[in-house]
Amino acid sequence: MCRCLRRWLVYMPAVLLAVALASCTITRQPAADYRFDNGLWFNGEHFEARNAYVVEGQLQYSEELLPATEIVDLGGQYVVPPYCEAHNHNFGGGAEADSVRKTVNAYLKDGIFYAMMMGSFAYYRERIADQLNSPTSVDVVFANNGLTGSGGHPRRLREWLMEQYDRYPEYTEETLPDAGYFEADTLEEMREKWSLILAGQPDFIKVMVLYSEEYDLRKDDPAYYGSRGLDPDLLPTLVEWAHAEGLRIAVHVETDFDMRVSLEAGADIIAHIPSNSNPEILSDETIALAKHAGADLVTTFTVANRYRIRSPERYATTIDAQRTNLPRLIEAGIPVAIGSDNTQGTSRSEAEHLARLGVVDNLTLLHMWTDYCAQVVFPGRNIGRLDQGYEASFLVLEGNPLVDFDNAYRISLRVKDGRLLNLAH
Ligand SMILES: [Zn+2]
């Protein structure tokens, strides 16, 4: 019983009891679930000592030491926002429903709480939905599978994964179209596929625009099977349809030209910055356009690793192009997000790759993996930063990642949605 209520009971007539109860309830502060002592909290620029609290799932700070149900001593460690993956396919990408908990744990172990699936099956997504988007799992958004031109990417890849690895046992050559990819060459075909895509209730739309400067050349040539995409002339209409449904649109691009036509069409997300697998140098015009359009850009530079052994020369020139492109985008003030497209791993591999490139400072790299990425995956949600009132999700690191980025991987504690995560289950 609170002290003011006891006073009311002793001195005031019983008829006022109801009033007293009401006033006690109103003045009571919500109790903090946790207080974190001796932590150094990332404020977007550097680390500062703060008294931090988790109150009703939100981060709160106070100058004073207030009581809490549980007190955690962080012992001078460093607190950063959770990490993030802006491009993968390893949730809902195939018949892996049995191993989804393993993938979730790999993400959580690496500190990655938010993920964007840039192409996966609505059917498999449905099967694993109850294992995602909860306080003890990863928060994931899905494009489902995307739109392409006839014989375009990812058709060849899907057929190969089905035949060689039996990734889609529920599908056949006949049923894979309109599930693993959606092909359209005309406005009428695109309209037909659009209603099928919407029926899968995607969180955003994915479309393939590959080597579009050679669209006419590649369109019917079997040599380019799987290495082409949608007619770039159809793109502005598709963007219009997506926006009318309140859906963002992410574009798989390969070349500087692809990126330019996508931005001109009003695309929201460039799902791969050119030079992820080709030695493609971005033009000044495209960078200026990206800045002006405010589109989200995702790295996926580890894609180049598949050429390391197969084609060392292509690998070397592609890495050189990455070293040229990335600092120019950052100097232009574009908040580039980390996405790996690494279906065998997590975006940690991309962060390590970008750190190794040696062209981005640690502060920028941390932003790319936290708030820049979180705003691509869940725009408008209060995540990716440690601001007052933001969702109480964060990582505790043993050392300062601004001094040595390897400290970003030394995670001693994970807090998601106001709860301490235990990865032992
Ligand atoms: Zn991808």
Distance 347 CA to ligand 1 centre (A): 12
Distance 252 CA to ligand 1 centre (A): 8
What's the number of domains the chain is made of? 3
Domain that holds residue 14: 1-30
Percent of the chain residues past pLDDT 70, beyond the cut:
92
Distance 88 CA to ligand 1 centre (A): 6
227 shares its domain with 94? yes
Distance 340 CA to ligand 1 centre (A): 8
The pLDDT tens digits for 378-415 are 999 999 999 999 999 999 999 999 999 999 999 999 99
116 shares its domain with 253? yes
Distance 228 CA to ligand 1 centre (A): 15
167 shares its domain with 72? no
169 shares its domain with 293? yes
364 shares its domain with 410? no
* DSSP H or E stretch at residue 251: strand 249-253
More confident residue, 376 or 11: 376
Distance 86 CA to ligand 1 centre (A): 10
What pLDDT band is residue 95 in, cutting at 50, 70 and 90? Answer: confident
What pLDDT band is residue 220 in, cutting at 50, 70 and 90? Answer: very high
DSSP assignment string, 344-401: TS-THHHHHHHHHHT-S-HHHHHHHHTHHHHHHHSTTSS-SS--TTSBS-EEEESS-T
Q: Has residue 327 got a pLDDT over 90? A: yes
**At which residue do the structure tokens 């192409």 appear?**
119
110 shares its domain with 139? yes
Q: Has residue 99 got a pLDDT over 90? A: no
Q: Which two tokens stand for residue 258?
A: 């692809």
Distance 89 CA to ligand 1 centre (A): 6
What does the pLDDT average to over 337-346? Answer: 96
148 shares its domain with 297? yes
The candidate with the shortest Cα–Cα distance to 346, out of 411, 421, 281, 425, is: 411
Distance 341 CA to ligand 1 centre (A): 5
Distance 187 CA to ligand 1 centre (A): 25
Q: What is the mean pLDDT of the chain?
A: 92
What pLDDT band is residue 97 in, cutting at 50, 70 and 90? Answer: low
- pTM for this predicted structure: 0.92
What pLDDT band is residue 342 in, cutting at 50, 70 and 90? Answer: very high
Distance 309 CA to ligand 1 centre (A): 21
> Which amino acid appears at position 377 of this protein?
V
